[in-house]
Structure 1
Amino acid sequence: MASVLVVNSGSSSFKYQLIDADSEERLASGLVERIGESTGHATHDTPDGHWERSLEIPDHAAGFAAMLDAFKQHGPSLDEHPPVAVGHRVVHGGARFFEPTLVTPLVLINIEDLSDLAPLHNPANVQGIKAAQKAFPDLPHVAVFDTAFHQTIAPDAYTYAIDADLAKRLRIRRYGFHGTSNKYVSGATEDFVQRPVTELNQIVLHLGNGASITAIDGGRSVDTSMGLTPLEGLVMGTRSGDIDPAVLIYLQRKTRISTDDLDDLLNQRSGLFGLSGRKDMRDVISAADKGDESARLALEVYLHRIKHYIGAYSFELGRVDVIVFTAGVGENSAVIRARSLAGLEQYGIEVDPERNDQRGGGIRVISTDASRVTVLVVPTDEELEIARQTLSVVG
């Protein structure tokens, strides 16, 4: 009963899942966190129960030792479900990686070299890969890049209109993110509507604390809202999304704000949090319902940006067959889904209130039977997609 171990590594934590290679059943999952702190914490979940413990975890290698001990103590047995490979989520592949890639020393060097484009993510991804290679030295390790799905975007959509030589030298262009989620969701949509993905034009709204929207033509990404970094595009929990670049110049001239503080402002103190003091969409909606003006405005700005992109991508695609909501907010907030598409009935987009309000764990239709555009809620599963792509490399 072969399996695939999927790892998503951060600078002070990593998540893992063990997935059956044939049935795609999730055999176990866990989280190792507070790596490098005085006391670390590890959780391990299987269909038989939940376990957690606190222990010293000085580095990622010790974290993987704790993970292996959890498998040994609580199962499932890695001897009975031997991993055939380890799949790793890597955030930024730049323009170099456009498919899942077997990790070699040269590939690791390239991932590290791309750290300038994702300083908070790629170094942590490399740490996780190196620790996993020590824990599983005889297994192939595969890097699955969050940017890879968007490598089909054409130059006119990914090019920024700045000095061409400077952009080329510093690798400045639109890359896009949430690609692994988009690939999984577009494939799941194909299965659900029983039409080949090559015949479908989709707009996928990945709405979580980080949020993006992607136009998919025949299974290929043709445009996406995130750019060089995950900051561009939609309003997010703490990120500003689109902003006039001159605002940054103005801020620096007026306040002498440092580059690091400017980065913190746009990524950690903006978005819903910057407008309302709340980063969780549930809190924003609740406050707006109670008459809080800042929360109401934050919600309106958030929804305005979504409609802006839906309109742009509808014209870019020429025809829209399916609109998909996914990720934490997209899957769970009936309010956001309804208000994002309100007033678009003349364009063939009609949401059924009763269907939209129903909660469920699987894929479901929330549009009316008369709607020309099918509107779906599709729970994403990035770990399963990483497992699938890993198997596609190792066979």
Structure 2
Amino acid sequence: MKILVLNAGSSSQKSCLYSLKEEALPVQSPKPIWEAQIDWSHHEGVAELKVKTIHGAVLKEELNAQSRQETVEYMLKSLWQGETKVIDSLAEIDCVGHRVVHGGDKYKESSLITKEVKEAIADFAKFAPVHNPANLQGIEAIEQILGEKVAQVAVFDTAFHAKMPEAAIVYALPYEFYEHGIRRYGFHGISHQYVSQRAAQLLGKDLTSLKLVTCHLGNGCSLAAVKNGHSIDTTMGFTPTAGLMMGTRSGDIDPGIIIDLLRRGHTGEQIDDIFNRRSGFLGLSGISADMRKIEEAIAQGNTRAQLAYNVYLHILRSFIGAMIASLGGVDALVFTAGVGENAANLRADVCASFEFLGLKIDEEKNNHRPVDQDISTPDSPVKVLVIHTQEDWAIAQECVRLTQLSVIPSPL
């Protein structure tokens, strides 16, 4: 069985192909036989295509950025043509899985894509106007390229949080707003679900017995409180802007700030730009949204970079404490995504705040680029894990589940 995964963003398209055979499905990701990325963000009118295969073949090209379908079609040709060829024809692809950011309150788990599902994805674009349209374009492009007979699966980022208790999803607004879909949804659910499953595997425990705080820290950041295998609380809300401070997003703010900005004459579009693209690390530091550049600036004595880091750390610690309170305790703290997996100093600073729980990390393990590893000391009652998130593999697993096949990687 060959599963193609498309992870579409507003300005990028990440894809990979898994080759699997019937047997037992592993939790840990096998290596894709082909990986590709299209990036529209570097040069206007140009799409950058990068492809690599398990055999070491690499392709880099610049394409005229036309429609998403045309660029995706060109990308897929590298699967069965040229030096990056790994299959003989596109007919070998059995299923295509898509990350879909918003499933609203209707989709509480992944779904085989039908006309109704596509209509719902389009409708929920009102909640995710940047991402859902791109996700839908990817689905429609595959229909045009591979035909409607090939099974496609929508894996919703909101689904993992869909069963949170009502008290955790309702805003303290007039109740009719909740009736019209204004509520906390949560995001990064694919990542939170994968790392919680992987954490249970690494700890040798049943996931349903664990209380976990999973920390997805990248350019976008969110936490989840995972109890008995389910998300019971999370930091993102109605939109991905809520919760933690992020690379360019503000996170939670006093809503009175928005009212004040409106009174000063700012438009809705300008306010959206401020909170989503000009805030966070970029806005506070004036340097970058990239944690690595922030750390470099701090080392050079830049006070605004230091302030940005201090604010980020303060908010992160506060929300982790809130997640622990929601769980009524914690068995493990899990760090994942670009910052969570690579920023050793940040992990140490976060964990120092929870020493009152007996939590201790092994400095040597923490500082040596741990991957899927427990970095806590043997006597720490709260474990600290660093896990490489595998959203693409989580999507592929859902494809397997929904097509009722049980498989493992085939030897190459």
The two structures have a TM-score, normalised by structure 2, of 0.91
**Residue 353 of structure 1: which of 363, 372, 375 is its match?**
363
TM-superposed deviation, 1:210: 0.3
- Please point out which of 33, 47, 51 is paired with 1:27: 33
CA distance in 1, matches of 2:233, 2:361: 24
Q: Which amino acid aligns with 1:215?
A: A
CA distance in 1: counterparts of 2:315 and 2:88, whole angstroms: 47
AA matched with 2:156: F
- Counterpart position of 1:163: 174
Matched residue pairs, number?
Answer: 391
Contact 1:10 1:128 (C-alpha < 8 Å) held by counterparts: no
Q: Which residue of 2 aligns with 1:217?
A: 227
| Residues 1-395 of structure 1 mapped to structure 2, 5 A cutoff | 2-22=1-21, 24-34=30-40, 38-47=45-54, 48-71=56-79, 72-73=81-82, 74-79=84-89, 82-137=92-147, 138-169=149-180, 171-253=181-263, 255-277=264-286, 278-360=288-370, 362-395=371-404
Deviation at 1:37, TM superposition (A): 5.7
Letter in 1 for 2:33: L
CA distance in 2, matches of 1:164, 1:75: 55
Q: 1:55: how far off? A: 3.0
C-alpha displacement at 1:38, in angstroms? 3.9
Q: Which runs of 5+ in 2 are unaligned?
A: 405-412
Query: Given residue 70 of structure 1, which amino acid in structure 2 is its aligned partner?
Result: S
Q: 1:11 to 1:303 in 2, by over 3 A?
A: closer
- Paired with 1:324 and 1:108, the residues of 2 have a C-alpha distance of 34
**C-alpha distance 270-12 of structure 1, shift in aligned 2 (>3 A):** closer
The C-alpha deviation readout for 1:225-269, integer Å capped at 9, x for no partner, is 00000011111001011111111111221x211110000000011
Matches of 2:45 and 2:222 in 1, distance apart?
A: 36
Q: Deviation at 1:280?
A: 0.7
* C-alpha separation in 1, matches of 2:153 and 2:16: 15
2:108, 2:158 within 8 Å by CA — same for their partners in 1? yes
Shift of 1:289: 2.5
Q: Using the aligned pairs only, state the percent identity.
A: 40
CA distance in 2, matches of 1:3, 1:166: 44
- 2-side partners of 1:263 and 1:391: how far apart? 38
Asked whether the 8 Å contact 2:8–2:14 carries over to 1, the reply is: yes
Q: 1:155 and 1:9 mapped to 2: Cα distance?
A: 30
1:45 match: secondary structure = strand
Between 324-333 and 342-351, the greater mean CA deviation after superposition: 342-351
1:147, distance to aligned residue in structure 2 (A): 0.4
Does the C-alpha gap of structure 1 residues 29 and 343 become closer, same or farther in structure 2, counting only changes over 3 Å? same
**Inter-CA distance 199–126: structure 2 relative to 1 (3 Å threshold):** same
2:133 alignment partner, SS class: helix
CA distance in 1, matches of 2:39, 2:321: 41
Alpha-carbon distance change, 130 to 37 in structure 1, aligned in 2, over 3 angstroms = farther
Native 8 Å contact 2:100 2:155 kept in 1: yes
CA contact (8 A) 1:42 1:66 kept: no
Between 121-130 and 75-84, report the one with greater CA deviation.
Answer: 75-84
Contact 2:91 2:146 (C-alpha < 8 Å) held by counterparts? no
Aligned partner of residue 245 in structure 2, secondary structure:
coil
Q: Distance in 2 between matches of 1:355 and 1:157?
A: 35
Look up the SS of the partner of 2:179 in the other structure. Answer: helix
Gaps of 5+ in 1: none
CA gap 1:65/1:373 in 2 versus in 1, 3 angstroms:
same
Give the alignment's TM-score, normalised by structure 1: 0.95
Are the aligned partners of 2:90 and 2:146 in contact in 1 as well (CA < 8 Å)? Answer: no
Which residue number corresponds to residue 410 of structure 2?
none
